[in-house]
Chain A
C-alpha cells in the first residue's frame, strides 16, 4: 500500500545527523512508491544546499527562525508586558504555521502517517489537525542522554498522545515505558551507505572519525593510546575531524609523548576512504545515541572498540563477537581492548568479517520493512 508520509523535522536544510536521516528515509520511502513530504519547521542558520532532483517534496514553514519560547515564572515576569506580547505573537505565529501543516494533512489519502523526528517540531504538530493520520514521534538519542537534558520533560509532555514514540533501541524503549510512557516501540537507524569493497585490514592503523569536542572523548583515546602504543610498534592512530578542542588535544598528545604515532588528518569528505585505510576503529565517546560511525566502520569490515555508554552502542557491537566494549571511562580497559585487536591479525579478520555480516540487520531494506510493518500495525 502506498501512503502519504510526512516527515516533520526541525529543519530540512541543516548539516546534522537527524536531517541526514530524514533525507535518507524520505528517499527510501519514495523508492518504495510512497508519497513523501519532508517538512522543516524553520530554515537552518547555516543553509545546506539541497539537490534539485529530490524524489519528494520539501517545505519549510517559517521564513525566519521564530522567537525563543519563554514562560513567566515570577511576578516580575508576569508584569513584563513586552515579553508577554512577544509570546502571544509567537503562539499566534505557531498556530499559523501549524495551520499550513493541517492543510497539507487534509490533502493526504487513506493510511497517511506523520513522523516527527524531534520533540521541538512536535509542538507544531500538536497544534495542527492530524485527525485521520497516525502520528509517530521519535527520540534520536539514548534515554539517559535525554534524561540529562531539557528535552526529558518535553518528550513526556508533547509525545504523550502520539500513536507511537520511537527511541532507538529496545533497551531505551523499556526505560521510557518505565518512565510512564505506554505508547512506546523502538526503531533503529538504517545503514547510511554500503561501501563498494570492505577494508583489507592490511594497514597497521587504528582510526577514529569524530568532531574534536569533549563529548567525543578523544582525550580518553589519547590516554589509552599512550598506554597501548609502546607495546605495538609500527601502529598509527589516525584521527579524522576538527573542532573546538583541537589545540587542547594536540597539546595533550604532545605531553603524552605520542606525537610520533598520532596523525591528525583534519575534517574529511571521504569517510569511506578513511575507514578503508584502517584495520581497527575506535569510538571513545562519552555519550551516544545510535552512532552512525560505528555502523559505517562495521559495514566497511572494521572491528570496533567503544566505551559502552549507551544501549545503542551495545546494540550495534556485540561485545566479543564482532567488536569489543570497555566500561565507560575505564581507560585501561579501553587500551587493553585496543591491544587485543592490534596484537592479533586473525582476531581482527574474524571480527571484521562478522561485523560486515551482522550489521546487515540494520540494512536500509530491513529498516524500511520494519517501518511499513509498523504503519500497518497501527491501522489495526
Chain B
C-alpha cells in the first residue's frame, strides 16, 4: 500500500550490523501519534543484512520509509547521519539509533513545542533503559534540566544544558536551521555527538526544552572485567574525547563564551575525568603515566576557577593526577567512588586540615588539598567510614588468608585504644545468615591499623544456594567500644589463589560448588558462588532454564511475597494497627511515666527537669525514657525504649502519664486513662500552630485531624500570659488545660539569678572545665534559630560571620560557644580550637546558659529563657526582613520589644561585643520589662509544683 504523506518530521535512523533490531526502531516511528512522519534509514555499510532489511522496510511502507547506504563503512555514527540530513523531506529532523526507540508521542510533542515557540531546536528527556536489569532499571538523562518547559533565546541562559546534555538524539531540529548553519557531524571520531550538539546549541536562536520523555536509549550492561591490564583502546577513547573537547574549546574561544568554557571545564573535571579515574587503580604504571600525560596536556589550559567550583575530592583527584602522585591519587580515588569514606591519613597544619602532608609548600596546593570544611576533624571514629586496603590475599581449597591496613586519619584512633575486630560475610541480597571470623592480628601502626585474618570458608560459610550468590566482606573494628565498619578495597592486590575454594551450599551442591573472589563496582572484595565442577555446571544450566520458565516465575513470586510479609511486619502501618488493636486493650500500668524530649533526640528540657525532681523527692514511679538514635546520654536508672520500637509503643499504650515537650507520633491515639502533660519547649515569636501559614492553608478535614493530635494534650504548661495569648489559641486549647507553673527546665536559671543577685558569684559548673574554657575569658553563647533550605530541607548551618576572623579579633577576651539548632549542624576549623567551640551536640542547654556571660541569638525562643538570668542579649538578625516579614509572620515586633540591641550587620555586632558592659547597662531596664511581660510565671518552682500537682500520692490529675 502506498501512503502519500507530506512529512513534517523526518527521522534519520542509522544502523550498523543491527539487522535484527532495526525494524523495532523503525516501527516506533511509524507508530507515532503524529502521522506526518517519514523514516530515512542510513546503513553504514554493514556486513550483515541491515541494508536488505532497510530496503524491505522501505518497500513495505512506500512514501513513509526510505533506505540509503554509505559506499563504505565510516566507523562511527557521524557520516550516516550527515547523509541522512541531505535526504530529509520534512521541515524538522530527528535522529534515532537502530537499537533504540522513540516514545510514541515524541514527534507530536516536539513539533508542538517547535511550532508554538518558533524554536530552531527542541530537546526532550532521554530515558536510559537497562535491558539486562531484572527489575526494570531506568535512568533519566539529566532529568533536572527537564523539570519544566523552558524557552531559551540562547544556550548561554542555561550553560548546564550545553555542558551536560551532549546527546544529538533526544532532539528535534529545524532542517533549514541545520542547513543554514552547515551543521554536520565530524568524521571518523568517537564522541561525534558532543561536537555536533555543541555547534547546534551555539548556533540556535531559540531552544525549547520539554519535560516529556522522547527517546528510550537501550543500554546493555556488560560485566566489566576488573584486573590490572594495559588497555590500549581506553587510551584511544580518551585521546578522541580530548580531541573533541579541544575543538569545542576552539568554538567557545572564537565566540568569546568564557562562561560556557568554565562550565564545561568544571564538567570535564567532575565527570569525564572521573570516568577514567575510577579504573586507574586497576591499570598498570605504563597506562597511568600515559593517561596522566594526555590529561595534563589538556588540563593545564584550564582556569583555576574551574577547580574552585569542584567538590574537594574532585579537585584533589585532578590535582594529584597532574602531579602524578600515584600513592595519594589511588587512595583518593577510593573516596571518589565511595563518597562517605575517609581514605587518607589527612594532616593538620596551621589550624586547617589537609588531604595529605605532601605538596603543602605550594600555596595553590594548600587551597586544593584543604578539606577543613568536610569536618573530618570533628568526627568520632564510629561516625567515620575508614578505608581498609587489602594488602595480601591467599586462598586454598579450605579457606582464605587476608591482611590489610585501616587508615587512621588525624590519629582518631589513639595508640593506647582498646582494639578488637572481626571479619563478617553477609549475602548481598537480604538473607538471614551472616558468618563471622576473628582476626588473628591487629596492631596500631601510627597512621594505620594493620590486621590479618583467616577464614575457613569451605566449612564455616554455608550459603543456602542460588538465592544468595554474592557475599560481601566487611571488617568491623571496635575502638574503645565504638564500632566502625570497613569494606576491603582490593586495588592492585592479586586475588589469585592456589586452589579452587570449595563451598557446600545448604540446599544443594548441584547448582554451585565454588566460591570465587571478585571486586564489586565500588572496588571492594566480595565472593561469588559459582558452578565450577562439571556436575554443578550441567545442573546449573538446567536450573537457570527452569528459573526463566513458569516454575521459576512462581518461585520468584513466592520469594517476593515472603519478603513483602517480612517488610509489612516491620512497617509503620502494622505497628500502628497493633498499637490500637492490641496494646491499647492491655491494662494501664499504674505509676509508669513515659518521658520524651524533642522527638526522643535528647535527654533534656522540662521532661528531664520533672524527671529529676521526681527522683529528688523520692517519688515511687516507673520511669521510661524514649530515645531516637543512641541511648548513650540517657539516664541509666530508667527503662530506655527506642522510639517506634515495639517496646515504645507498648509503653505508651499502657502508660499512666505521658510527659513530653513536642509531640509523640501523631498517628498514635491516647487512651483517656493516660494523662498527657505537654510541657512545650518555648514561648513563641513566630506564628505557631493554627496561626502559621501552613496550617491556615489546610482543608477542613486536615485541620480536624490536626486538632485531634493536639486534643491529646491534657495539660499544657505556660510560662507567661503571652503563651496564653499566643500558643494556647494557636493550638486551640481550652483554658482548663492551661497550667501556669512556668517551665521546669527554667528553675535552674531562676535559682542562678537569685544566687547572683543575693551577692553570690557566677558559677560556671563542671561543663566549663570539660570544654576547657579558661577562667579569664568571658563566655558568649551563639544560639540562632533553625534554618532550612529554600526547598524546606535541613541544611548545614553556615555561621553568618567568619569564625576565624571572630576568633582572631575576640579570642583573647571571649570564648564563643556555637549552638546550632538540633536539626542543623556546624563545622568549625581546627584553627579556632579553644576559642570557638561547637556545643550543638550537648543535650541540655541549661548548663550552657548558666555558663554564658552573654547570649547572641536571633528569633529563637532561647531569648525568653536566657532573659531570666538578666545578662546581656544581642540579637544578630542579619536576615530579619526575609525571616520575619516574608515567610511566617510574628506575634510581636522584635525590633520594638527585644531585650537587647537588634543588629543586622556584622560590624554592629562586633561593636556591641567590644563594649559588652556598656550594652549590658544600656539594656538593663528593657530586660526587666521583657521578663515581666514574657516570663512572669518562671519563678523557680515549676518542677516542684508539677510533682505536687500530679505525682504525689493523692494528687489530682
Contacts and interface: CB of A to CB of B under 8 A. Distances in A.
Interface of A: 163, 170-171, 173-174, 177-178, 180, 182-185, 214-215, 220, 286-287, 307, 309, 327-333, 377, 380
Contacts, number: 68
Contact of B8 (A171, A328, A329, A380): A380
Interface string B132-149: 000000000000000111
A178 B886 contact: no
Interface in B685-709: 692-700
B696 A331 contact: yes
Contacts of B211: 174, 177-178
Contacts of A215: 699-700
B213 to A, nearest CB: 6
Interface of B: 8, 33-36, 103-106, 108-109, 111-112, 115, 147-149, 210-213, 692-700, 885-889
B692 A329 contact: yes
Contacts of A309: 697
Contact of A183 (B33, B35, B115, B693): B33
B696 A220 contact: yes
Contacts of B35: 380
B730 to A, nearest CB: 13
B212 A329 contact: no
B149 A170 contact: yes
B235 to A, nearest CB: 41
Contact of B888 (A287, A307, A330): A330
Given A177-B211, A182-B212, 18 more contacts: A174-B148, A177-B212, A182-B103, A182-B104, A182-B106, A214-B700, A327-B693, A327-B887, A328-B693, A329-B693, A329-B697, A330-B693, A331-B889, A332-B885, A333-B886, A377-B112, A377-B115, A380-B111
A291 to B, nearest CB: 16
A276 to B, nearest CB: 31
B688 to A, nearest CB: 13
26 contacts: A170-B149, A171-B148, A174-B147, A177-B210, A178-B147, A182-B104, A182-B109, A182-B213, A183-B33, A183-B105, A184-B212, A214-B699, A220-B696, A286-B698, A286-B699, A329-B694, A329-B695, A329-B696, A329-B697, A330-B693, A330-B887, A330-B888, A330-B889, A333-B886, A377-B115, A380-B36
A329 B887 CA distance: 10
A171 B148 CA distance: 8
Nearest to A374: B112
A328 B695 CA distance: 10
The 6 closest A-B pairs by CB, nearest first: A329-B693, A329-B696, A329-B697, A332-B889, A330-B693, A182-B105
Contacts of A180: 213
A232 B178 CA distance: 62
B282 to A, nearest CB: 39
A214 B106 CA distance: 42
Nearest to B214: A182
Nearest to B34: A380
Contacts of A380: 8, 34-36, 108, 111
Contacts of B106: 182
Contacts of A178: 147, 211
Most A-side CB within 10 Å, residue of B36, B212, B694, B699: B212
A8 B692 CA distance: 42
Contacts of B149: 170, 173-174
B112 A185 contact: yes
Nearest to A177: B211
A178 B33 CA distance: 19
Most B-side CB within 10 Å, residue of A174, A178, A214, A330: A330
A313 to B, nearest CB: 13
Contacts of B700: 214-215
B803 to A, nearest CB: 33
Given A215-B699, A380-B34, A327 B105 contact: no
Contacts of A332: 885, 889
Contacts of B36: 380
Contacts of A287: 699
Nearest to A173: B149
A244 B395 CA distance: 80
A180 B36 CA distance: 24
A245 to B, nearest CB: 9
Contacts of A214: 699-700
Nearest to A309: B697
B940 to A, nearest CB: 36
Contacts of A286: 697-699
A174 B148 CA distance: 6
B112 A327 contact: no
A333 B112 contact: no
A287 B211 CA distance: 25
Nearest to B150: A174
A178 B35 CA distance: 24
A180 B125 CA distance: 12
Nearest to B701: A214
Most B-side CB within 10 Å, residue of A173, A182, A215: A182
A65 to B, nearest CB: 25
Most B-side CB within 10 Å, residue of A171, A173, A174, A307: A174
A294 to B, nearest CB: 18
A333 B889 contact: yes
A180 B887 CA distance: 33
Contacts of B887: 327, 330
A171 B147 CA distance: 10
Contacts of B33: 163, 183
Contacts of B889: 330-333
A56 B212 CA distance: 37
Nearest to B890: A332
Nearest to B149: A174
A380 B8 CA distance: 8
A165 B148 CA distance: 17
A220 to B, nearest CB: 6
Most B-side CB within 10 Å, residue of A178, A220, A307, A380: A380
Most B-side CB within 10 Å, residue of A171, A215, A329: A329
Contacts of B695: 329
B517 to A, nearest CB: 42
Contacts of A333: 886, 889
A173 B212 CA distance: 10
A185 B211 CA distance: 12
A333 B8 CA distance: 50
Contacts of A171: 148
A174 B887 CA distance: 27
A302 B903 CA distance: 41
Contacts of B213: 180, 182
Nearest to B109: A182
A180 B127 CA distance: 12
Contacts of A307: 697
B89 to A, nearest CB: 15
Nearest to A220: B696
B81 to A, nearest CB: 25
A224 to B, nearest CB: 10
B28 to A, nearest CB: 13
A249 B692 CA distance: 19
A182 B104 CA distance: 9
B881 to A, nearest CB: 13
A171 B108 CA distance: 19
